[in-house]
Amino acid sequence: MFLEEDIDISKIELKKLVNFLPYPIIITEKLGGEYFYSFFNKNFIKKMGYRISEVPARMDLLKLLYPDDHYRNEILQEWTSKENRVKQAGKGFIKIKAHVTCRSGEKKWFEIKGSIVNNLQIVAFFNINNDVIMQDKLRKKNLNNDRMLSILGHDLRSPIANLISISSLAERSEISQQEFISMMQIIKEESLEALQLLDTTFNWHG
């Protein structure tokens, strides 16, 4: 839920409103060309763990949310780029997905949405951590399936081809009992090799 620019509402009323919303929200105010935090709602303090007294400037909080310099720069560049597009269009929302570090040290995925209202920027954090984890598990499972099929297709080809060749030879040729026993031993060994490969592949996949 965001406020459009044409809504006439005081800063006090705005803070009261966002304080009742169920997700973390921060409000920044642009003063002298720089953004400063003017309000953290109670869910931001509770779920993220940071208080406005600790991070008066924008970069102070960004350093806590994104401790890694490289990742923080990526997030800041993406946000700034989308922020500029919203300003040029005069409408719309800023929206990114980011891996955020809470005060407890726990890292969670959030969809972060921002709306510009005059010199204010209202930013909400929507927890998508479970969705991202499930998608990652599904991606890894699909990758494992592809690897397993590749292994089966490649490594089973040789044992199976050998079994077919030996069986055909035994079927077409007049061979002695000793030769037949020897071929059966080879077939047994090839079969055990194929079975072992299957067991190893499925155990690795599981």
What integer is the mean pLDDT of 10-23?
86
Check if the beta carbon of residue 97 is closer than 8 Å to that of residue 128.
yes
Whole-angstrom distance, CA of residue 27 vs CA of residue 16:
12
**pLDDT value for 32:** 78
Rg (CA), the chain: 31
For the range 32-39, what are the long-range contacts, defined as Cβ-Cβ under 8 Å and sequence gap of 24 or more? Answer: 34/58, 35/121, 37/61, 38/11, 38/120, 39/15
Q: What is the CATH number of domain 11-127?
A: 3.30.450.20
Q: What is the CATH number of domain 133-205?
A: 1.10.287
Per DSSP, the chain holds a count of helices (H) and strands (E) of: 7, 5
Residues of each domain in the chain carrying CATH 3.30.450.20: 11-127
What integer is the mean pLDDT of 11-19?
85
What integer is the mean pLDDT of 141-161?
67
Percent of the chain whose predicted confidence (pLDDT) is above 90: 37
pLDDT in tens, 73-130: 999 999 999 999 998 888 889 999 999 999 999 999 999 999 988 888 999 999 998 8
pLDDT in tens, 168-181: 766 666 567 777 67
Residues of each domain in the chain carrying CATH 1.10.287: 133-205
**pLDDT value for 195:** 72
Residue 50's CB is within 10 A of a number of other CB atoms, namely: 20
Amino acid at 51: R
Check if the beta carbon of residue 116 is closer than 8 Å to that of residue 61.
no
CA atoms within 13 A on the CB side of 59: 4
User: How sure is the predictor about 151, in pLDDT bands with cuts at 50, 70 and 90?
Assistant: low
Whole-angstrom distance, CA of residue 4 vs CA of residue 18:
14
User: How sure is the predictor about 155, in pLDDT bands with cuts at 50, 70 and 90?
Assistant: low
